[in-house]
Structures are given as structure tokens and as C-alpha cells.
A and B are shown apart, each in its own frame.
Chain A
Amino acid sequence: MGIRKTTNADADFLPGTLEMLVLKTLSRTPNHGFGIAQHIQQVSQDALRIGEGSLYPALQRLLLNDFVEAEWGVTENNRRARYYRITKAGLAKLAEEKRSFEFLLAGIARVMEA
């Protein structure tokens, strides 16, 4: 019963982290799925590699919650691709996620350094 599953628990992240990363990526500029995965991989210097199996369900969740919008477009190389654009609600969500993520991170750091 997939209807109740709104966070991604099976990735190698904390729940919801992938969505946060996607939102962050899209907050700079609209992008297609591959572009998002590539961007995350590059910026994290290959620390985070996102497979299709987690990326696309995450994008669907964002679509369902109206955090992003999707539209077919054309890439610089003249290829068809589906572009995702962050919405106002998505920006708000990103800010909220960022706050709680920092809070969590600080907590973890305190534990690890204790």
C-alpha cells in the first residue's frame, strides 16, 4: 500500500535527505533527472551517487506534494528531456528541511565529539 509511503527509507541516506538534495539542486536552476543526479554527484565529489531507482520515486513524491513541477523540454544538445522546476512550496520546504538538517547534524557532531 504505497499510499502511506512518503519518505524514502531505503536509500543510503537519512529519510528525506534525497528530496532535500534534489530541491537544493533545483533551487539554482530547473533541471532534468539526469542533470540532477549528475549535479549531486559532482558537487559531492562522487561521494553521493544517485541511482534511477531512488531518484525517480523521489521526484514523484515531490510532484505529488507540489514541491516541484515537471515539463517536457529540450536540452542544449537538442535532446528531449523532462525538466523539473521548484515551486514556492518547494522553496519553503527546502528552507525547513535545511533548518532541521543543520539541527540534526549539529546534534550528531556533538555526540561524535563527546
Chain B
Amino acid sequence: MKLWKRVRMWRDRRRFEQDLAEEVRIHREMAGEAAFGSEALALEQSRDVWGFTWLESWKQDIRYAIRGLRRSPGFTLAVVGAIGLGIGLNTTLFTVVNAYAFRPYMVRDPYSLYSFTWYAKSGNGHFFSSDDYESARGERRVFSDVIAFDNFGGELSGRLMFAQLVTENYFDFMGAGMELGRPLVPGDRAAAVMGYQTWQNKFGGDPGIVGRKLYLRGQPLEIVGVATRRFSGVEGVPVGIWIPMSMHTAFKDGAGNGELHLRLIGRLQPGLSEDTAKAALTTWARRRWPDAIGVVMTQRATAVPLNRDAILTFIPLFAAFGIVLAIACANVSNMMLARALARQREIAIRVSLGAGRARLVRQLLTESLLLAIPSSLAGFAISVVTLEAARRLLFATVPAAFGQMLAIEDLRADWRVFGYLLAASIGTALLFGLAPALITTRNRLVDASRGDFSSDYRPARLRNLLVVAQVWVCSLLLICAAIVLRGEARVTGRDLGIDVRGVWDIRMLSRFQDQAARRLAATPGVETVAAAWHAPVYGTMRRLGLHAPGRQDEVEAGFDFVSGEYFSLFRIPVLRGRTFTTEESQSEAALAVVTEAAARRLWPGGEALGQTIDLPASVLRHSPFDRMPAFHSARVVGVVKDVQTDLNGADAVSVYFPTSPRIAGNDSVLVRTTLPRAEAQRALQAALDEVGPSIADQLNPMEDVAAVQVYPFRVTFWVAGFLGGVALLMTISGIYGVMSYVVSQRTKEIGIRVALGAGQPEIVRMILRQSARLAGYGAAGGVAVALALAPLVANQLEAIRPYELLPYAGGVIAVVGAALAASLAPSRRAVRIDPIVTLRCD
């Protein structure tokens, strides 16, 4: 590092000078008569070699800038605050994205890990059986090794978490290391390895955890080890506990060996390219499944694979946060401009005395870079505080039943975050410092030599542009926030047609359901117990095509399997006919209950009751979890009122087929209680514990399930609203600054106007008009961009309607109002201008 050597020598320059001077003196003494050449020149040029003059001038610049900043602490504080906030928010976002998409998993060679699956015309995302796994593992040309796993959520002795069944080579394959005890090894049966976070957060870091016996899905498991802190699986799911694959049948329903729902991850052979591997794997898949078309491979080095979809998700996020930083830069740029213009006399004198422009620009930029240092420190502090606050807010506001499942990646700053911070602060310093530096150092020798340091020296266009840009961006953010808020209100206010209050969704393996249902029905406080394949509200129903006999058109309808009690449990009114009897439920009779909407679609104008529905003879299985009725036609025994099963506003055309807790394949036992929540939870848990230890995977109040569906809207609104609020604040301060500056610059003109008889209202109107015009341009730009972006989100979610008037009007009014409010104080100052004073000065 030559630069470093120079700086070191510079620091030591007193000794350097002494040495050099002595050396040259000795030389001249030795040479005596023969000496020639200038001693001073020798010293000067030697110094130049080390670039001392250059470093010296840097030091001067820095000292000068510090002196200037110390003289105006208000300005310094305002810059540090604005840029710090902007950088802080952006660092917050980057830290999160870094943790999920950039930081690789702490496993051996993470970039060689690939998950894969095959696709055919009939569907994609296929799972694998253990035979498939063995076959894939045999593909030694592609993979050095392959692991298989299967995830499920469950309660480990009362603590909700994700469990993962893994093949015996899993820990060896990952090479992640253990915190305590040993990894799973071949031959392990009722053994398990716990995740570090689970151990810390759910078992209080119990030092005696190894050797403890815990229950999961009614099965005892001995904890043999705790995984290292930085490892929690490689599929983005925070794994709480790993269980040997040999226990698969004990933990999963009715899956014979050929029907395992495994997912695979392989480690690519060293040096093999992704394309080659994909080609080889496609050949393998085509050999195994004749209808296979190709394979999809996803690198598993990070929690979120950095593919096209992920990048498309990140872009609007980074844009929204970056916009806030840009506003902060625009603000500071304006302040610097005003400040530099106040120094124009000094600068002009220096220019006319022969100071180089590059030197002046460098000096002004030094000031910006110096401001960037405390700003980035403030930014880092803000990002740490924001992350912690957001984490707490998240856990405090997410519906209680789901908070337990939540796990957040480690959000500590690493070298990537610090690198980003550095780049962001230097970038912003140049962004807010360059324009003022260039503008104020424009060569104006002629004017300066005339002694005129101010006239026609108004970079008004740039300043106005900055204000317009701020308003533009701010209104865009506010409009987006308002659109999301409307969407949330729409979703929250939606009438589902079912009453979820007091209803609990209890998930467990089929083998426990019958006994649990009977035990629950006998529990005091429990009003109704029902079975359902899929509980409502969680998401869209599975769909299938139906026919009314004799009619050709297919009606696509949502379908579910439920027991007869389901309708009374959710207070769904039966309009005509009846629901399923217990016997019909238990025998899965070929009967159906349809909603009003379905009845209208299938038999327009006719009576549905007693009619027959034809089911498709064969249905493409979209996923291994799909379940089809065993019959090909069903008689309609009842018509119920319309029900919306999810908050996303799918149509209410749906059909119900009978089932009961006795039948395998259902996910949920639903319970309605009359007890208050905490009491109900205790009573239900106690009843379930009598059936077996930790048999239930989840005990979800349906109210929380509904709340969780709205939650993403709420978070999006808070983020957009928060950014919009910050942007609004910055815009107000920016407009305030600019208008104050404008007023002080137009003092003379306003004084003349007042002297000529302009009244106070005219002056105020004049100032407000100028500010309103800027705000108007900006707001129009914001509306235009919002409308341009609208097609991207339209039709994505039913609740988000980007073409409503209200959000646009609200956003525009807020911004223009804020702009006018911000210029009130400057306009009052303008009114107070005394024409006698102003006309006398200068």
C-alpha cells in the first residue's frame, strides 16, 4: 500500500524533514567545492515525491470543514438527522434482505446445495418416495450425496414448533456441527436433535436438555443433541427439532413406503455446472416418470433463493426505502446550497484570487464526506433500534396462536451490512454534496471583479426541482399507503358468513381424531365438535369441476369434506333441506350440501334439493395432499347460506361432502366452546392430554386464524404508512427550508412591493402560491406514477383496488396541505418585512 506508506511518512514528517535536511547538508559538506544544484529544490522535490503538499491540503480542508460545521451546529444536526434517518431505514431493510437472501447458511459449501423436483403436463412440485430418494442418491454423476426430509408443525411437550424428519446422513451432509451432545446417526429411532433457538427460547437453555424425554404427536423422543447456533435447516423453515426418517410412520398419517411425501436436497459433485446437473437430472426423471418433462433446481445457499421472483419482490421495497433516502438527500442538498450561497462572497473572492475550481469542489465535498461519518453512525444506530422495535412489534401484534411458530433469521450486522452502510454514506455524501459544490464554484470572475457577489446567482431551477421531486415521491408513498389501508379495511370488514368466535381448530393425526373428538364432546363448556378436511379461513378452498346431469357446462366450485355438525358449529344457516346425519358422515355417503351460490350456478332457476351432482370421473391430482370423493355422483340434501372461506374474496360457489372424525385424511377437529379463551384453551388441552401426551399439533382459535389473514395487509400498511409519514415530515422541513430561503432572497423585492402599497394578504398569497405551484407539480407526478404502477397490482389481490379515487385524493390533499402549512411561517416572516430597513441595506 503506497498510500499507507505516504500517510505514515507524513505523520512522521518532522523526522523526515530533519533527516533529509541533514543528509543534504552532509552531502554538500562532503562535496565541498563540487556541490552544485539548489539545496531548497532538492528538499522541495523530495517532499513532493511523498505527496506531502497534497496530504497537507487535505488536512487543511478537513480542519476548515470541521470549523465551519462547528460554527453551525443546527445545520450539522439537521443534516445528520435527515441523512441518518434515511440511511438507517435503508440499512434496516438491507439487514433483513441480507439475512434472508445474501447470507449463506452456515453449512459446508452451501452453494453446492440444490433442492429439486420434476414437472409434467399434469402438474409440478412433485414429492418423492423413499425409492425415489434411493434412486436419486444413486445418481453419483450429479450428486455427491442427497438427503430427504419431511416437515410438519407440532407441539413438542406443549411447545409449538416445526419438526423435520430427516434421513440418517443429514447431519453429516450438512457438516453444521453441534452445540451439545451428538447428531443423529444411522440406527437412531426415538431420538431427536433440537434446534438452538428452540432450546434457548422454548426450553430456557436447559443445560440438562440432552437425555430429556419429550413427547411429540403422542410419541416419546429422547433429545440426544442440540444443533449449533447458526444452523436451523436449509429450507427457510425454522426447524425446532430433527427426527430420524425411520420414525416416519409413527409421525405421519397412513403413508406406506411408496407414498412418502419427501423432499430432496442434493450436494452437486464438485466442478459440475448447474446446467449439466439439470440435464443429467432430467434424464433421470424421464426414466423414472414417463410423463416427466423436466426438472426444477433451486440453489439452497440462502433462506430466500435469489431468483427472478425474489428480485422482483425486493425491487419495490428497495425503491420505497431508497426514495426516503433520496428525499433526505434532496433536503440536505437544498440546505447545503443555501449555505454555500451564503458563502458565495468568500468563494467568489477565492476564485478571483486564483483558487482552482477542482480544489474548491474538493473542499466542499470534504464537508459532505465529513457530515456522512456521523450520519452513517446515526444511521447504524437507527437501524439497530428499528430492527429491535420491529421485531418486538411483530411478536406483540401477530395473533397469539401464530407467534409461537414465528422465527426470525439472525438479524445482526455482518460485513455485508457494514459494506452497504459505507457505500450508502459515501454515495449519499456525493449525492447531496456534488450539486451545491459544482453550482457555487461556477466561475464568475467578471461579476466578482465588479464587486458583485450576489446578483443572478440563483440556482432556483435546481432548488425547485428538488422540492418538486420530494413532493412527487412523498405523494406516491402516501397514495400507496392509502390504497393498502383501504384494502385492509375491505378485508377486515368482509362478512364471511360464518361465526368464528369461540371456535377452535385442533390439528392432529387422524389416528387420534376419533378418540379426541369423543373426549372433547364430553368436556364441559364444549358446545359442538365437528370434523373437517380443511378448516375454513386459512386460504382458498380446493376446487373441482362439477356438472349438473344433462348439462354440458362445467361449474368450478370449491369443495371440502365436513361432518354434519360443521354447519351448526359455524352458525351457517341451512336454507332448505338438512345437513348430514352422523351415520351419513361416518359412512361418507354419496351426498352433498351446496351453498346458495353453487345451487344457482348448477341449476339456474330450478330447485337444487334432491338433484344429483356429477363429479369428474378422474381428476388430475395437483398435489399429493389432494383428496377426492370416492363416488362419482352425489345427491344434494341441503342448501346453506353463502360462505366465504377465505378473506381474499373468492366466490361462494362451494360444495360439501360428508366425513367424520373416524375417517382418516382429515386435518382438523373443530370445537365450539362457550368458555372464555384462556379457560377454553386449558380445558381443551386437559381433555386432549387424557387421550395421549402432546397429541395435538396446533390449537388455533379461529379468530386468530382470521386475524392472521389480515395481518400481511396490516404490516404492508404500517410500512408504507411509516415511510410515507417520514417522507412527509422530510418534505415539510424541505419546503420550509426552501421557502424561508426564498423569502430571505426576495426581501428586497418584497420590501419594494410593500413600499408600493402591497397589503399583507397579497404578500402571503404570493408566497403560498409559489409553494402551492411546486407542490402541485409534485403531486401530479406522484399521481401519474401511481397510476402507471397500478396495472402491476390490479388483479393480483381482490382487496387491493388501485383505481379508487379516495386514496389519490387523500394523498394529494395531505401533501399539498403540508406544503402550504410548511410555507406559512416563511410567509409570516415575509409579511413582517420592513420596507425601510430592507431598502436601506446594501
Query: If A51-B36, A52-B37, A82-B19 touch, does A57 touch B42 (CB 8 Å cutoff)?
Result: yes
Chain B 33-89 interface residues, beta-carbon cutoff 8 Å to A: 35-39, 41-43, 45-54
Q: CB of A61 within 8 A of chain B? A: yes
Q: CB of A49 within 8 A of chain B? A: yes
Q: CB of B31 within 8 A of chain A? A: yes
Q: CB of A48 within 8 A of chain B? A: no
**Does the CB pair B42–A52 fall under 8 Å?**
yes
Q: Within 8 Å CB of B19, what residues of A?
A: 72, 82
Query: If A52-B37, A64-B2 touch, does A82 touch B23 (CB 8 Å cutoff)?
Result: yes
- Give me 19 other A-B pairs in contact (C-beta within 8 A), A3-B6, A56-B24, A60-B50 excluded: A1-B53, A2-B54, A3-B54, A32-B23, A33-B23, A52-B24, A52-B27, A52-B42, A53-B38, A53-B45, A54-B37, A56-B23, A57-B46, A59-B46, A61-B49, A64-B5, A64-B6, A65-B2, A81-B30
Chain A 7-49 interface residues, beta-carbon cutoff 8 Å to B: 32-34, 37, 49
Bound complex: CA A64 to CA B47 (Å):
11
How many Å from the CB of A74 to the closest CB on chain B? 12
Q: CB of B20 within 8 A of chain A? A: yes
Query: If A53-B38, A53-B41, A64-B6 touch, does A5 touch B26 (CB 8 Å cutoff)?
Result: no
How many Å from the CB of A5 to the closest CB on chain B? 7
Bound complex: CA A80 to CA B45 (Å):
23
Bound complex: CA A24 to CA B53 (Å):
31
Q: CB of B278 within 8 A of chain A? A: no
How many Å from the CB of A26 to the closest CB on chain B? 15
Query: If A57-B49, A64-B50 touch, does A34 touch B2 (CB 8 Å cutoff)?
Result: no
Cβ contacts B508-538/A at 8 Å (1 or 0 each): 0000000000000000000000000000000
**Does the CB pair A5–B36 fall under 8 Å?**
no
Closest 9 CB pairs of A and B: A51-B37, A2-B48, A3-B51, A53-B37, A60-B49, A57-B45, A34-B30, A52-B42, A53-B41
Q: CB of A110 within 8 A of chain B? A: no
Identify whether the interface residues of B are mostly helix, strand, loop, or mixed: helix
Q: Within 8 Å CB of B31, what residues of A?
A: 34, 37
Contact sample, A vs B, 18 pairs, CB 8 Å cutoff:
A1-B53, A2-B52, A3-B6, A5-B49, A32-B23, A32-B27, A34-B30, A37-B27, A51-B36, A52-B28, A52-B35, A53-B45, A57-B46, A57-B49, A79-B30, A81-B23, A82-B19, A82-B26
Bound complex: CA A46 to CA B46 (Å):
25
Chain A 43-95 interface residues, beta-carbon cutoff 8 Å to B: 49, 51-57, 59-61, 64-65, 72, 79-82
Considering the complex, give the chain A residue whose CB is closest to the CB of B23. A82
Bound complex: CA A60 to CA B53 (Å):
15
**From B26, B28, B37, B46, contact of A60 by CB (8 A):** B46
Considering the complex, give the chain B residue whose CB is closest to the CB of A53. B37
Bound complex: CA A98 to CA B30 (Å):
30
Q: Within 8 Å CB of B24, what residues of A?
A: 33, 52, 56
Query: If A33-B23, A51-B37, A81-B26 touch, does A56 touch B42 (CB 8 Å cutoff)?
Result: yes
Bound complex: CA A80 to CA B24 (Å):
12
Q: Within 8 Å CB of B27, what residues of A?
A: 32-34, 37, 52, 55
**From A2, A59, A72, contact of B53 by CB (8 A):** A2
Q: Within 8 Å CB of B49, what residues of A?
A: 2, 5-6, 57, 60-61, 64
Q: Within 8 Å CB of B51, what residues of A?
A: 1-3
Bound complex: CA A90 to CA B54 (Å):
27
Bound complex: CA A65 to CA B49 (Å):
11
Bound complex: CA A42 to CA B19 (Å):
26
Q: Within 8 Å CB of A51, what residues of B?
A: 36-37, 42
How many Å from the CB of B13 to the closest CB on chain A? 12
Bound complex: CA A76 to CA B22 (Å):
18
Bound complex: CA A64 to CA B49 (Å):
8
Bound complex: CA A64 to CA B50 (Å):
7
Chain B 245-299 interface residues, beta-carbon cutoff 8 Å to A: none
Q: Within 8 Å CB of A52, what residues of B?
A: 24, 27-28, 35, 37-39, 42
How many Å from the CB of B61 to the closest CB on chain A? 14
Q: Within 8 Å CB of A64, what residues of B?
A: 2, 5-6, 49-50
Bound complex: CA A33 to CA B35 (Å):
12
Considering the complex, give the chain A residue whose CB is closest to the CB of B3. A3
Q: Within 8 Å CB of B47, what residues of A?
A: 2
Bound complex: CA A59 to CA B770 (Å):
65
**Does the CB pair A5–B48 fall under 8 Å?**
yes
Chain B 424-478 interface residues, beta-carbon cutoff 8 Å to A: none
Q: Within 8 Å CB of A6, what residues of B?
A: 49
Chain B CB count within 10 A is highest, among A52, A54, A64, for: A52
How many Å from the CB of B794 to the closest CB on chain A? 58
Chain B CB count within 10 A is highest, among A5, A34, A55, A65, for: A34
Bound complex: CA A80 to CA B19 (Å):
11
Bound complex: CA A1 to CA B52 (Å):
9
Bound complex: CA A79 to CA B28 (Å):
13
Bound complex: CA A80 to CA B30 (Å):
11
How many Å from the CB of B359 to the closest CB on chain A? 10
Considering the complex, give the chain B residue whose CB is closest to the CB of A77. B30
Bound complex: CA A65 to CA B54 (Å):
18
Query: If A49-B36, A57-B49 touch, does A1 touch B23 (CB 8 Å cutoff)?
Result: no
Q: Within 8 Å CB of A65, what residues of B?
A: 2
Considering the complex, give the chain B residue whose CB is closest to the CB of A70. B19
Bound complex: CA A33 to CA B2 (Å):
23
How many Å from the CB of A82 to the closest CB on chain B? 5
Bound complex: CA A112 to CA B38 (Å):
35
Considering the complex, give the chain A residue whose CB is closest to the CB of B16. A60
Considering the complex, give the chain A residue whose CB is closest to the CB of B2. A64
**Does the CB pair B26–A34 fall under 8 Å?**
yes
Chain B 599-653 interface residues, beta-carbon cutoff 8 Å to A: none
Bound complex: CA A56 to CA B50 (Å):
12
Considering the complex, give the chain A residue whose CB is closest to the CB of B20. A56
Considering the complex, give the chain B residue whose CB is closest to the CB of A54. B37
Q: Within 8 Å CB of A55, what residues of B?
A: 27, 42
Considering the complex, give the chain A residue whose CB is closest to the CB of B36. A51
